[in-house]
Amino acid sequence: MFELSLYPPTMLAAAGSSALVTFCLYTLAVFGLAALSSRLLKNRNFLNEYFLGSRSLGVWALALTFAATSASGGSFTGFPSLIYTHGWVLALWIASYMIFPICTMGLLGKRINQVARKTGAITVPDILRDRFQSASFAILATALLVFFTCVNLVGQFKAGSMILQTLLGENATYQALRGLVGNFMQSSQILAGLDPGYFLCLITFGVAVIIYTTWGGFHAVVWTDVMQGVVMVLGVIIMLPLAIYQVGGLQHATETLAQMVPPHRAEIVIETHLENPDVPKGTWLQTADSPSRIFRIGEAAAFNEAGKATVSGIEVVDAGDQQRIRSGAVDVSFEQSVTIVDVRSSTPAAYPGDERPGVYVTAPGPDANKMDGMLPMSLAFSMFFYWAISGTGQPSSMVRLMAFKDTRTLRISIASVAMYFSFIYFPLVVIFCCSRLLLPGMEVESDRIMPQMAVTLTSNIGAGWLAGLLVAAPFAAVMSTVDSFLLMISSAVVRDYYQRNVNPDASQRTLQRMSYACTIVVGVGVVIAALNPPEFLQYVIVYVGSGLAACFLAPMSLALYWKRMTTSGAFASMLGGFLCHLSLYVVGWYRGDGFTKPMRPFSLDPVVVGIVMSFTAGIVVSLLTPPPPKELIEKYFYTRRN
Amino acid sequence: MPTAALDADPDLEPDPLFVASFREARWILLMWVSCFVWTLTVCLNFGYPETVDPQSFPTVLGIPAWVAWGIAFPWLIANVVTIWFCLCVMEDADLGDDVGAAEAAPAADSAAAPAAGDSNV
């Protein structure tokens, strides 16, 4: 077994260099794919090719673009962070991915593709407009789609910038550029308050994505998705054996986890006699008594004139972690120039309040703030519903289902995606349960666990260069989601609003210019919005994902499978889902719980309630209104006998 | 009711792809329900113990036993069933012609033909 270690700055710098090389190669490849796909735009119907790839996706393209778009940055940043913090219970949290591919691709796949071909539909609102013969309904769908997707994009751009920052880390070139940008920003009133590293990475990420998406359209997005999908699964497949080997086997890891107790949240007063002290977030400190108490601070210390500062962080109270740290089994360096003068508080996690062992290997999992743990039984029920069922209602998935070339492609792609996700999600749970043994104290910056684990695993086997590939996986995940969403917004505006409502006779050249301009304008707008993203953005992203499902799943399912569905029923279904879902968040806000804790009737998540309301409203209102015209039912549900 | 009239029309038959898709969708929902019942039954019964003895915590191949039987095992079964369903049960069908593709523009500045369905609105 390798010696467990936190990596020194030299390793971080080496990893940053390899990440920079990886990023440059990766970006070059992406632009190459965009150039190739832009050639396909010639001599074809522009909108059909630009937004839907002329419905020509084959097996691997469909499988990997679907998988890569579904796996957003959260799969490689937020999810590993949750596993590290809460343990094996995350396997239950993500369990419905066992049935995710067949549900999300199989329930609507064939039918949505057939209807899209029959009507010439290029976008989701296109299908709804033709099925319900209502321009107003299409505009409502377009408005909701653009609203939700733009909000989501702001979060994804923020995640992209933060991942890029982590990738480049201590790289000298990046640090020099960061300094230059910082100096420039100081002279600007608008940019003065921003972090130059975040700003630089946001602009770099944004420019790269906007250019290749605008240039290449749907095919560029799909081809880069294929490449990104391969990078993601390779990253996981390489990390899994390394992690298991380096913790001495999975059995040993689970047995050790079974004895662990979560750290305390702590607030300490520290003191230093240095003139310009720099005590960053993540610094390790210990008290002078014997045995010492071990702390890791969760924020940069701001010292007063007397050389004292009050900082929050964690206290490592697990006996195993303490022993590993003191014995040098993990390479933790304590800051010697800073002393702890007072421990103001050291509070156990809200669950389990009594510090009993076993919480990392059982449900509901430890939680610093929630008394009923990370995943109480009622939430486990909602999560199983959430991934597989609400995933079916995501318009970005529907667009991909409109683009495959034949039903054989769909069948084999579903089987491939099922295997693909099995190689991603369950292994991630194993890898990051192991990470608790390799990297103690990461609760203070758990969002960085993925890149730090990659650096640790590769450095321990003397292959730091490999970190570049591993840390590219989360970056690829964000990029593949962002490009798809960007194109979806552009298509909604150009096709669903401009061509269908403003200028139906627009020339191909006009539509082409509009599409390019729209993709650029939306991309730039989102970059500007992401300069100052709200702090609770992750919760906004959750709201967006579930909101889209509450709005689109029932209207689309009923449109495709229920002859009796009427235009009024479609309005009721979409608005009912949207308003019900929104109102649960508003009530949570009104009760003083903020945007992070929506009201949960009967302990059910808002997405479950929203989808049930959407189906109910659609069915009831349809039954109360006159049936659709005979010609329409015949067009969608019947064929002429030969 | 238009549906009854359409069903009675001898020149018409229900769209075969619609019929097959609807049948497959019901099987898929049944698969989801089966996974849901299995996973939650096992995990809610064995994954939420009041106390844990770390010295004798049950595992299967290093995975906590409740995760192995409640999640990993059904995940494996779900994959097998998904692959079988896709390769052996789902029917291939003609998706029809793409109306949009027929609108290919020979010249870059020619006016685009209205998309199918525009006349409906």
Q: B4 CB near a chain A CB, below 8 Å?
A: no
Is residue A3 scored above 70 in pLDDT?
no
The band of B117, judged by pLDDT with boundaries at 50, 70 and 90, is: very low
Q: What's the gap in Å between the CA of A319 and the closest CA on chain B? A: 14
Tell me which chain A residues have a C-beta less than 8 angstroms from the C-beta of B108.
507-509, 512
The pLDDT tens digits of the residues spanning A573-625 come to 999 999 999 999 999 888 877 777 889 888 888 999 999 999 999 999 999 99
A429 & A574 share domain: yes
- Distance of alpha carbon B115 from alpha carbon B99, whole angstroms: 8
Is residue A53 scored above 80 in pLDDT?
no
A126 & A166 share domain: yes
A211 & A270 share domain: no
Q: Is residue A256 part of a domain?
A: no
Q: When comparing pLDDT for B14 and A641, which is higher?
A: B14
User: Poorest-confidence range of A115-129, A154-168, A260-274, A282-296?
Assistant: A154-168
Q: Is residue A359 part of a domain?
A: no
Tell me which chain A residues have a C-beta less than 8 angstroms from the C-beta of B24.
106, 110
Mark which of A347, A382, A407 sits at the end of a domain.
Answer: A347
Question: Residues of chain A with pLDDT > 70: what percent?
Answer: 94
Q: How far, in Å, are A193, A484, A525, A550 from residue A530 at the CA level?
A: 14, 18, 9, 25
Residues of A numbered 396-435 whose beta carbons fall under 8 angstroms of chain B's beta carbons: which are they? Answer: 406-408, 410-412, 414-415, 418-419, 422, 426, 430
Beta carbons of A398 and A124 less than 8 angstroms apart: yes
A557 & A499 share domain: yes
Helix, strand, coil percentages in chain A from 3-state DSSP, rounded to 5: 70, 5, 25
B82 vs A415: CB contact, 8 Å cut-off?
A: yes
Q: When comparing pLDDT for A78 and A150, which is higher?
A: A150
The band of A14, judged by pLDDT with boundaries at 50, 70 and 90, is: low
Q: B37 CB near a chain A CB, below 8 Å?
A: no
- Distance of alpha carbon A233 from alpha carbon A17, whole angstroms: 22
Residue in chain B nearest A358 by alpha carbon: B52
A225-246: average pLDDT: 89
What's the pLDDT at A58?
85
Q: When comparing pLDDT for A158 and A625, which is higher?
A: A625
Q: Is residue A537 part of a domain?
A: yes
Residue in chain B nearest A404 by alpha carbon: B95
A360-382: average pLDDT: 91
Considering only the beta carbons, identify the residue of B52, B70, B95 that sits closest to A406.
B95
Helix (H, G, I), strand (E, B) or coil at A360: coil
Q: Is residue A362 part of a domain?
A: no
Q: How far, in Å, are A178, A285, A312, A325, A344 from residue A292 at the CA level?
A: 38, 10, 18, 11, 16
A509 & A554 share domain: yes
Tell me which chain A residues have a C-beta less than 8 angstroms from the C-beta of B54.
255, 258-259, 357-358
User: Poorest-confidence range of A46-55, A448-457, B75-84?
Assistant: A46-55
Looking at every residue in chain A, the average pLDDT score rounds to: 87
Q: B19 CB near a chain A CB, below 8 Å?
A: no
Amino acid, res. B106: P
End-to-end Cα distance, chain A: 70
Per-residue buried b or exposed e for A212-226, using 16+ beta carbons within 10 Å of the residue's own CB: bbbbbbbbbbbbbbb
Is residue A385 scored above 80 in pLDDT?
yes
A46 vs B105: CB contact, 8 Å cut-off?
A: yes
End-to-end Cα distance, chain B: 23
Residue in chain B nearest A55 by alpha carbon: B98
Q: A310 CB near a chain B CB, below 8 Å?
A: no
With tokens 């020099």, the residue in question is A176
Indicate which of B28, B38, B80 best probes the interface with A, i.e. most A CBs within 10 Å of its own CB: B28
What's the pLDDT at B105?
42
What's the pLDDT at B3?
78
Q: B46 CB near a chain A CB, below 8 Å?
A: no
State the total domains in chain A. 2
- Distance of alpha carbon B11 from alpha carbon A630, whole angstroms: 14
Of A548, A545, A569, A549, the residue nearest A559 (C-alpha): A569
The pLDDT tens digits of the residues spanning A317-346 come to 999 999 989 888 887 889 988 999 999 999
Q: Is residue A559 part of a domain?
A: yes
A279 & A417 share domain: no
Is residue B107 scored above 60 in pLDDT?
no
- Distance of alpha carbon A122 from alpha carbon A593, whole angstroms: 41
Q: When comparing pLDDT for A184 and A102, which is higher?
A: A102
The pLDDT tens digits of the residues spanning A339-366 come to 999 999 999 998 888 888 999 999 999 9
What's the pLDDT at A43?
62
Beta carbons of A567 and A134 less than 8 angstroms apart: yes
The pLDDT tens digits of the residues spanning A272-287 come to 888 878 788 889 999 9
| Three state DSSP letters for A502-538 | HCCCCEHHHHHHHHHHHHHHHHHHHHHHHHCCCCCHH
What's the pLDDT at B101?
62
Is residue B110 scored above 70 in pLDDT?
no
What's the pLDDT at B84?
97
A511 vs B112: CB contact, 8 Å cut-off?
A: yes
What's the pLDDT at A19?
66
- Distance of alpha carbon A484 from alpha carbon A212, whole angstroms: 11
Question: Residues of chain A with pLDDT > 90: what percent?
Answer: 43
Mark which of A347, A375, A407 sits at the end of a domain.
Answer: A347
A572 & A425 share domain: yes
Per-residue buried b or exposed e for A551-589, using 16+ beta carbons within 10 Å of the residue's own CB: bbbbbbbbbbbebbbbbbbbbbbbbbbbbbbbbbbeebe
A229 & A291 share domain: no
DSSP 8-state class, residue A6: P
Q: A505 CB near a chain B CB, below 8 Å?
A: yes
How much is the ipTM here?
0.87
Pseudo-torsion of CA A176, A182, A187, A188, nearest 10°? 130
- Domain range for A171 is 9-249+367-637
Q: When comparing pLDDT for A567 and A40, which is higher?
A: A567
Question: Residues of chain B with pLDDT > 70: what percent?
Answer: 81
Q: What's the gap in Å between the CA of B30 and the closest CA on chain A? A: 10
What's the pLDDT at B114?
32
Tell me which chain A residues have a C-beta less than 8 angstroms from the C-beta of B64.
88, 254, 361-362
Tell me which chain B residues have a C-beta less than 8 angstroms from the C-beta of A561.
18, 21-22, 25
Q: Is residue A235 part of a domain?
A: yes
Q: When comparing pLDDT for A525 and A47, which is higher?
A: A525
Q: Is residue A633 part of a domain?
A: yes
B117 vs A364: CB contact, 8 Å cut-off?
A: no
A255 vs B100: CB contact, 8 Å cut-off?
A: no
A400 & A321 share domain: no
A377-399: average pLDDT: 89
Q: When comparing pLDDT for A499 and A111, which is higher?
A: A111
Residues of B numbered 48-107 whose beta carbons fall under 8 angstroms of chain A's beta carbons: which are they? Answer: 48-49, 51-54, 57, 59, 61-64, 66-67, 70-72, 74-75, 78-79, 82-83, 85-87, 90-93, 95-107
Indicate which of A41, A42, A45 best probes the interface with B, i.e. most B CBs within 10 Å of its own CB: A45
CATH, residue A550: 1.20.1730.10
Tell me which chain B residues have a C-beta less than 8 angstroms from the C-beta of A44.
101, 104
Q: Which two tokens stand for residue A575?
A: 């608005």
B12 vs A640: CB contact, 8 Å cut-off?
A: yes
Mark which of A296, A318, A347 sits at the end of a domain.
Answer: A347
The pLDDT tens digits of the residues spanning B34-52 come to 999 999 999 999 999 988 8
A46: left (phi over 0), alpha (psi -120 to 50) or beta: alpha
The pLDDT tens digits of the residues spanning A508-538 come to 888 888 888 998 999 999 899 888 776 655 5
What's the pLDDT at B116?
31
Q: What's the gap in Å between the CA of A125 and the closest CA on chain B? A: 12
A437 & A526 share domain: yes
A416 & A540 share domain: yes
Considering only the beta carbons, identify the residue of B2, B32, B64 that sits closest to A88.
B64
Tell me which chain B residues have a C-beta less than 8 angstroms from the C-beta of A135.
121
Q: Is residue A642 part of a domain?
A: no
Amino acid, res. A288: A
Q: Which two tokens stand for residue B16?
A: 């075969």
What's the pLDDT at A258?
95
pTM confidence score: 0.87
Q: When comparing pLDDT for A443 and A185, which is higher?
A: A443
A243 & A267 share domain: no
Q: When comparing pLDDT for A119 and A464, which is higher?
A: A119
Q: A38 CB near a chain B CB, below 8 Å?
A: no
